[in-house]
Amino acid sequence: MASVILKNINKVYSGDVLAVDNINLNIEDKEFLVLVGPSGCGKSTTLRMIAGLEEITSGELYIGDTLCNDIEPKDRDIAMVFQNYALYPHMTVYENMAFSLKMRKIPKKEIKSKVEKSAKILGIEEYLDRKPKALSGGQRQRVALGRAIVRDPEVFLMDEPLSNLDAKLRVQMRAEILKLHKNLNTTFIYVTHDQTEAMTMGDRIVVMKDGVIQQVDSPRNIYENP
């Protein structure tokens, strides 16, 4: 079970910047939840706290039944995809996808089969020997997704994963990510500043402003009662 529960979560950065102001959120197992709001409203900070990449100032974060405030990112059953892909430039696609499994001391044979299976799902099996710089933006984004799915996590976190792509590819990748969510049958938490993206992708949408949650509802209800 991979529900994600945020209880009275606050984040204060140095210099007294209150980035997240007492957020309460109950993200259900297997749902596709979108966090939307203007730049600077605290979306990324929220996601990074769930990933463990940012310390929680106060409040409680549960993943499943586990209180995760003090659990290392690598020990959370989570994978994150970033806007800038964050691929290792000196490694091939294969090595990029294999890296986190290697860190976990998974046997080589198992790594190979996981990487190949994930590459197939994303249609990048022909590029396994290439370096990221020899790939298009869309291919790089697929590798970033591949690097997340090889780990078979309970929860996927995506921080503006499509904002570096051109408009046409962005629309195509939205559909691919939704398909991935359906196939993997896991919890997705997706951050975007793009309202159309939020409305077309989310089962549920969380609207943030100035570190506060303003609205949590289905796309339809948000459309009808903005």
Integer Cα distance of 10 and 37 in angstroms: 17
According to the binding rule CB under 6 A, does residue 45 interact with ligand ADP?
yes
Q: Which residues in the 59-98 window bind ligand ADP by CB under 6 A?
A: 94-95, 98
Closest CA to 50 of 69, 37, 35: 69
Radius of gyration of the chain (CA): 17
Contact track, ligand ADP, 101-120, x by CB under 6 A: -------x---x--------
Question: Closer CB to ligand ADP, residue 145 or residue 206?
Answer: 206
Starting at the edge strand that comes first in sequence, how are the strands of the sheet with 4-13 ordered?
17-27, 4-13, 58-63, 66-67
Give the residue closest to ligand ADP by C-beta.
44
Integer Cα distance of 118 and 144 in angstroms: 11
Angle at 180 between CA 77 and CA 63, to 5 degrees: 20
According to the binding rule CB under 6 A, does residue 44 interact with ligand ADP?
yes
According to the binding rule CB under 6 A, does residue 195 interact with ligand ADP?
no
Contact (CB, 8 A) for 118 and 87: no
Q: Which residues in the 12-31 window bind ligand ADP by CB under 6 A?
A: 13, 17, 19
Contact track, ligand ADP, 114-153, x by CB under 6 A: --------------xx------------------------
Q: Which stretch binds ligand ADP (CB under 6 A): 34-42, 59-67, 78-86, 149-157?
A: 34-42
Question: Residue 189 carries which side chain, given as an amino acid letter?
Answer: I
Helix ranges (DSSP H) in 155-218? 167-184, 195-201
According to the binding rule CB under 6 A, does residue 9 interact with ligand ADP?
no
For ligand ADP, the binding residues (CB under 6 A) are: 13, 17, 19, 37, 39-45, 94-95, 98, 108, 112, 128-129
